Amino acid sequence: MITQAGAPGTATGAMESQDLKKAGLKATLPRLKILNILEKSRLRHMSAEDVYKALMETGEDVGLATVYRVLTQFESAGLVRRHHFEGGHSVFELDHGKHHDHILCIKCGRVDEFMDETIEERQRVIARKAGYDMTDHSLYIYGICTDCQKKEKGRGR
């Protein structure tokens, strides 16, 4: 099967198309564009608004409602993970399969990732003891990153 080379609206890569179909989703232009943003953007964790802005900047014309819908679909399909960072609004990242938790700077918003098997195991034990069938967990460590610590000292104090 051959598609017109350079046909309008075929700007995004072709491989992603398969990813979407494998996930049981129709390979529509908005979905391809959003997937592309998530893959190419320098930010690993993006809010719907972030994705929307990135789309606008590249001249793409996708509605904000669609961004929300698609991200939720991606989540259901297991392509994306949703996090609730402080502040209430959702943040998304491509799901590469490796579970991890987050540590974030309350000054600049920087986000780092970590995985600690000791903590993971303790959580399982705690859930079992409490009689729960654990389905998920979320752990966020908040603090001030190295850079922001320096800045604080710089500004006297």
Partner DNA sequence: ATGGTAATGAGAAGGGTTCGCATTGTATTT
Partner DNA sequence: AAATACAATGCGAACCCTTCTCATTACCAT
Residues that bind Zn ion (CB under 5 A): 105, 107-108, 110, 145, 148
Residue 78 within binding range of DNA, rule CB under 7 A? no
Task: Kindly write out the interface string for residues 95-134 of this chain, putting x where it contacts its own copies by CB under 8 A and - elsewhere.
Answer: --------x-xx-----x-x-x-xx--xx--xx--xxxxx
Block residue for tokens 């491989």: 15
CB-CB contact of 68 with 89 (8 Å): no
Q: Determine if residue 6 is left, alpha or beta; phi over 0 gives left, psi from -120 to 50 gives alpha, anything else beta.
A: left
Would you say 14 or 140 has its CB closer to its own copies? 140
Site string for Mn ion, 105-144 (x = CB under 5 A): --------x-------------------------------
Collapse the DSSP code of 91 into the 3-class scheme (helix H, G, I; strand E, B; otherwise coil) and give the result: strand
Structure tokens at 144: 């001030």
How do 46-47 and 80-84 pair as beta strands?
Answer: unpaired
- H/E element holding 80? strand 80-84
Looking at the Cβ atoms of 24 and 142, the one nearer to its own copies is: 142
Quote the least distance from Cβ 114 to DNA, whole Å: 24
Q: What is the DSSP letter of 113?
A: E
Footprint of DNA (CB under 7 A): 9, 17, 21, 25-31, 47-49, 61-66, 68-70, 72, 88-90
